[in-house]
């Protein structure tokens, strides 16, 4: 384990992981507005209270970032628009695929392989992975938002005990984490220009999920209690926080790819030597 971690640190420096994370953060920041437009354009058809949507956004995003999009959330969530929804889907899909392309390049760097796939095949791959990410985001949003409504609907029918509510509350977040691990495993398998068995992608997917949960919680705690970005950056404080969060997310995703690449090289080549 010590040798493995030393190799991760060595690859972290050699592949310049912070630079790869910064490249992803740039495209993720570009895609966040179309993604929010897509989510918000769907919400009016779900009859969700705007104040509740603000509270949900506050529980997911840093407070300064939520404040930036608060007016947009209130205005869009109360005005359904079919044309706006169509535009949002196209814009979100295209911009998100740019972030996935940056992720694909980062995983190729981790495995020390070049991108030899054709432009059409590469775009098709990025679009497919983008669909998987969007599906995961939808599931991650639906479970926390509608978990209480689902319980309220099922409880009178099944006459569930009082303990069932706390169990279901845990399960909806547990399922969200599991979905994140599964999506990351798919990303780590198909993104690099290399044929990889699923057995080699689980360590990085689990590690990236755990690190993302931990760093997101720690970063949120730091922003809320130990620093005042609004006082330093003014109205840009929310954007700076969001950019830093994307930067950390990009680094974590590359670390997961580095873990998988090292695990793959050690096991794959040892199998060849053994045979």
Number of other CB atoms surrounding residue 10 within 10 Å: 12
Percent of residues, the chain, with pLDDT higher than 70 = 64
Q: How far is CA 93 from CA 34, 138, 220, in A?
A: 8, 14, 28
Query: What mean pLDDT, rounded, does the chain reach?
Result: 78
Please tell me the distance from the alpha carbon of residue 166 to that of residue 143, in angstroms, as a whole number: 14
Least confident of 70-74, 216-220, 239-243: 70-74
Q: Reply yes or no on whether the pLDDT at 273 is more than 60.
A: no
Per-residue pLDDT, averaged over 91-112, amounts to 85
Tell me the two tokens of residue 272.
């060849």
3-state class (DSSP) for residue 5: helix
DSSP 79: S
Please tell me the distance from the alpha carbon of residue 30 to that of residue 197, in angstroms, as a whole number: 32
Alpha-helix residue ranges (DSSP H) falling in 159-201:
163-190
**Residues near 143 by beta carbon (within 8 Å), at least 6 away in sequence:** 172, 173, 175, 176
The predicted pLDDT at position 128 comes to: 84
Per-residue pLDDT, averaged over 139-154, amounts to 60
The predicted pLDDT at position 108 comes to: 92
DSSP 31: H
pLDDT in tens, 161-193: 666 667 776 777 788 788 889 989 999 999 999
Tell me the two tokens of residue 55.
């509270």
Highest mean pLDDT (candidates 10-24, 148-162, 232-246) = 10-24
The predicted pLDDT at position 145 comes to: 56
Contact 205, 257 (CB under 8 A): no
pLDDT in tens, 204-218: 999 999 998 888 787
For the chain, the structural domain boundaries read 2-274
Contact 24, 56 (CB under 8 A): no
Tell me the two tokens of residue 72.
């947009």
pLDDT in tens, 159-168: 666 666 677 7
Q: Which of 70, 65, 100 is closest to 219 using CA atoms? A: 65
The predicted pLDDT at position 63 comes to: 66
Least confident of 4-18, 198-212, 220-234: 220-234
Least confident of 68-72, 191-195, 200-204, 239-243: 68-72
Angle at 216 between CA 210 and CA 219, to 5 degrees: 135
Residue with the larger pLDDT of the pair 74 and 260: 260
Q: Which helix (H) or strand (E) holds 74?
A: helix 63-77
Per-residue pLDDT, averaged over 262-270, amounts to 82
DSSP 187: H
């Amino acid at each position: 384990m010590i040798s493995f971690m030393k190799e991760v640190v060595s690859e972290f420096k050699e592949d310049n992981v912070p630079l790869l994370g910064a490249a992803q953060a740039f495209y993720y920041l570009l895609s966040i507005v179309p993604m929010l437009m897509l989510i918000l354009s769907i919400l009016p058809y779900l009859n969700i209270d705007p104040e509740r949507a603000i509270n949900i956004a506050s529980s997911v995003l840093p407070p300064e970032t939520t404040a930036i999009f608060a007016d947009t959330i209130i205005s869009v969530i109360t005005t359904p628009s079919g044309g706006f929804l169509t535009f949002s889907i196209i814009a979100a899909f295209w911009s998100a695929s740019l972030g996935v392309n940056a992720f694909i390049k980062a995983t190729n760097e981790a495995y020390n392989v070049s991108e030899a796939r054709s432009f059409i095949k590469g775009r098709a791959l990025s679009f497919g992975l983008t669909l998987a990410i969007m599906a995961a985001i939808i599931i991650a949003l639906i479970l926390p938002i509608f978990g209480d409504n689902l319980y309220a609907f099922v409880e009178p029918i099944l006459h569930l005990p009082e303990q069932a509510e706390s169990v279901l509350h845990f399960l909806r977040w547990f399922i969200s984490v599991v979905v994140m691990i599964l999506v990351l495993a798919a990303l780590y398998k198909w993104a690099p220009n290399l044929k990889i068995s699923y057995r080699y992608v689980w360590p990085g997917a689990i590690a990236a999920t755990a690190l993302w949960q931990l760093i997101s919680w720690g970063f949120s705690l730091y922003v809320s209690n130990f620093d005042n970005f609004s006082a330093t950056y003014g109205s840009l404080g929310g954007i700076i926080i969001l950019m830093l969060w994307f930067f950390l997310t990009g680094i974590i995703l590359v670390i997961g790819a580095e873990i998988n690449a090292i695990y793959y090289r050690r096991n794959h080549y040892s199998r060849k030597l053994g045979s």
